[in-house]
Structure 1
């Protein structure tokens, strides 16, 4: 049963290992979507050089949710009429952001990735340079809770996806040969799209592909786990510093962004450890943070996540607005609407 603050999105997983279901249903909150927009952002995180760039970028991205995202009565994620009326370049930007975020949701819910980051953000943070012929590379990488690196290529489309897009995802997801000296445990491409059935726009769906072939020009991504964790949490620290400080709640340090109706939090113990790492105590950061999460993190809730962070929004009124095109009376086939429809 989908709750009033939750979305339902169906996915298809093509060529994944047998341990994954061919089709599946993801249920997640609007705060989970906002969290995914946060961690998949690509803005530089060197606060000394760039100020609060990452915070402004994230606020811009999350503002897309109350502006353009709506919840249908069934719980399906759809677009507002305003989103459908955007010009082509604006639709591309919206699709790109949703593609990144939904890849983040899929990575967390289906692939069990606890830490996910944009490749360009990590590379920019530590001055990693790629060869000139490697511009086509996967977007995201992270680590599963059970161990093992994951590489993901994210795409977003405002209509149907085709074989050409699937081919592009197949190529780009395998452009990273290794992460930290080890081959990825899983590398996949993920496309979030609003398909059409008989000319009628449908709700958001996800299509993921995971073939095994590797590109000839694949690159190695040098990653140190301690520096990875530092780069992962820096945007959250920047948000705490940029927003209005709120009282600590259940062990979470919090900051709010009033006009945006959203708050960001992080376990105070994690925040303190990461701040010490920024001051020079980087050694063993990864193990220390994982130990904190394993011992202090309660069961993740609708706005608290397995990485020890929290995102809390107040967008229900906007999400429930009746300003989106109504569903068709067409009888959709089972493969279109999901096995339980």
Structure 2
């Protein structure tokens, strides 16, 4: 992506294993990264038979928040537009929550190597899995090279409360196991806008103990992979087909100025799984991804085999954010 579309945000890690993340970490990302993370961390399943295009409408809603309310300073910081500051409390909450999820997704990919971060409710809704009733359950989970990562995403429209980092440290792990295995990391990630600078910053905390009622997630890896990719196929089907690269199945969502794609070999295998050939999907996708990431000059190719290209340069460059 062009340099003018790249954001940088200070990242403060707390209580992570020594040497895992630099105490002066910086997270770099683009509008493509934001759009991809908003899609991947969405709650709505992509099963069109039972849920129609719910995941597509959710994606359209969440990604439209970026050109509408997000701006970039000359220095690369992410700030909110003047219109975003005029939203009512509930609308600000929606924007903050979405940014919190997006930045949690980007953090988990860049710093922890999680390529398929999934909303736990998407998996539950897709497969009829009922989890124990608790208000403290984490939002997201995904597999890293070292093991499972569980993440709770938070967003703040202003600064983070002074006590929140300590609260997150004290907050216990809400997921005890995934497929019988204890998560490698269980973190809380907060995206906030400190009032003295109004620029996005990230605080990530790794609580090291389990809570009083931790959840066991009985997960099937093939179902996990299908739940992850189905919304991408739904979005591609909803858009206008494009054939700019023979390696990808792509389409354009015109009003959003957004291009979405998936490698054709992975798309074909996922489509087979959605039609009943589910067994072995996880291993098949991992094997295909091991062949490497296919590059595309007009968009960002992600480690999960998807492609996202946003054309929001004019929108995020507007100077309607100055205080």
TM-score, normalised relative to structure 1: 0.90
Q: CA RMSD in A?
A: 1.7
Between the aligned partners of 1:300 and 1:231, the Cα distance in structure 2 is 25
Aligned equivalent of 1:78:
79
* Structure-to-structure mapping, 1:124-135, within 5 angstroms: 124-132=125-133, 134-135=134-135
Between the aligned partners of 1:223 and 1:168, the Cα distance in structure 2 is 29
* Structure-to-structure mapping, 1:1-341, within 5 angstroms: 3-18=3-18, 19-132=20-133, 134-144=134-144, 146-166=145-165, 169-170=168-169, 174-197=173-196, 201-247=197-243, 249-298=245-294, 303-326=300-323
In structure 2, stretches of 5+ residues that fail to align are none
Between the aligned partners of 1:171 and 1:125, the Cα distance in structure 2 is 32
Contact 1:153 1:172 in 2 (8 A): no
Between the aligned partners of 1:325 and 1:250, the Cα distance in structure 2 is 43
Q: Deviations over 1:203-237 (max 9, x none)?
A: 00000111211101001011111111111000011
How many Å apart are 1:135 and its aligned residue?
3.0
Between the aligned partners of 1:267 and 1:273, the Cα distance in structure 2 is 10
Provide closer, same or farther for how the CA distance between residues 260 and 186 of structure 1 changes in structure 2, counting only shifts above 3 A.
same
Between the aligned partners of 1:238 and 1:272, the Cα distance in structure 2 is 13
Between the aligned partners of 1:43 and 1:234, the Cα distance in structure 2 is 10
How many Å apart are 1:191 and its aligned residue?
0.2
TM-score, normalised relative to structure 2: 0.95
Between the aligned partners of 1:151 and 1:171, the Cα distance in structure 2 is 16
Between the aligned partners of 1:306 and 1:315, the Cα distance in structure 2 is 22
How many Å apart are 1:164 and its aligned residue?
4.3
How many Å apart are 1:32 and its aligned residue?
0.5
Between the aligned partners of 1:168 and 1:154, the Cα distance in structure 2 is 14
Between the aligned partners of 1:130 and 1:35, the Cα distance in structure 2 is 27
